[in-house]
Amino acid sequence: MKKSLLTLLAFFALHIAIAQEFKTLTYFVNDTTKLELDLFLPKTKSKDKLPMLIHVHGGGFSGGKREDGHHIAKYAAGQGYAAASITYTLYMKGRKFSCDGILTEKVKAFQIGANQLWQATLFFINNAEKYNIDSSKIFISGSSAGAETALHAAFWDRNIMALYPQKLPESFKYAGIISGSGALMDVNLITKQNLIPALFFHGSCDRTVPYGTAAHHYCPTNSSGWLMLFGSYSIYNHIIGLNGSTHLYTYCGGGHEYSDELFAKGQQQIVDFMNAALKGEKQQAHTVITTGKPCKTGDYDFCK
């Protein structure tokens, strides 16, 4: 029985593997940096240009690898999307990202990540014909540090925060964003003019990246690395206030361990969100999920 089960699992693994076309590509090179990405394309060729998802892995800007995003990239490719998981500079490797770190170093990590995500986006815009991509339908996603990268890439002023001379077209706008346990340094970066559909998921008791509005790691105000962050719940409410399209999944009692939850276990919910966004369907929903985990952080009525 055990041998038969292993054979069956191997068959399904092979079936999934051949359902996508896989490539490792270099998307950015300069004198000091070479960055690669893993691209998954549907095996069946489409006459229509493909929508795209670009994913950024987590790891506190000091760890993680692009393979961590393969689960959502493979799934999205199986649902008719071009999907890429990118490598980016782990700027905080060897530096402190905790309360006793240096504030400007934290901001620099966000800026480098966002700029390199812009470069990955530009790579696919420039190679849209080669890979049959619709450059007006590019979504970005990320987990933890990757979510912070994606959020700032979506809403920062790309001219003010640019580190590289190669820039995205002025008129370019992402089709949407998916953020797993991410946060913004300033929720007011999101305006009516730059609104895009946004899907969030986050544990309500996250002590690493705040679910609401709080300091990074809940650092005391006299910390050298003190940084105020606006988490998923705060961003969601801000977008609702702007009458934008958004959906928040709250894992009541959950901590930072939920930062990859939908990317690893709820991929169809992500694909459904992107499909709805492409159809122009407006979403304003808050899904509350009980985890059974108690905590003292964030006493929200909907979690009682």
For the chain, 304 residues long, the average pLDDT of each consecutive 10-residue run is 50 50 95 96 90 98 97 97 98 94 96 98 98 98 98 98 97 98 98 98 96 95 96 98 98 96 98 98 97 78 88
pLDDT at residue 294, as a whole number: 85
Q: How far apart are CA 196 and CA 148, in angstroms?
A: 16
CA angle at residue 174 from 27 to 138, to 5 degrees?
55
CA-closest candidate to residue 180, choices 204, 202, 209: 202
Q: How far apart are CA 74 and CA 113, in angstroms?
A: 22
Contact assessment for residue 219 and residue 208, using Cβ atoms and an 8 Å cutoff: no
Domains and CATH numbers, the chain: 21-303 (3.40.50.1820)
Is residue 211 helix, strand or coil?
coil
Structure tokens at 71: 């689960």
Quick one: DSSP state of residue 34? E
| Helix ranges restricted to H, the chain | 2-17, 70-78, 103-126, 128-131, 145-155, 232-241, 261-265, 267-278
CA-closest candidate to residue 84, choices 126, 58, 120, 47: 120
Neighbours of 112 (CB within 10 A): 19
The model carries a pTM of 0.92
Contact assessment for residue 56 and residue 87, using Cβ atoms and an 8 Å cutoff: no
CA angle at residue 265 from 260 to 271, to 5 degrees?
90
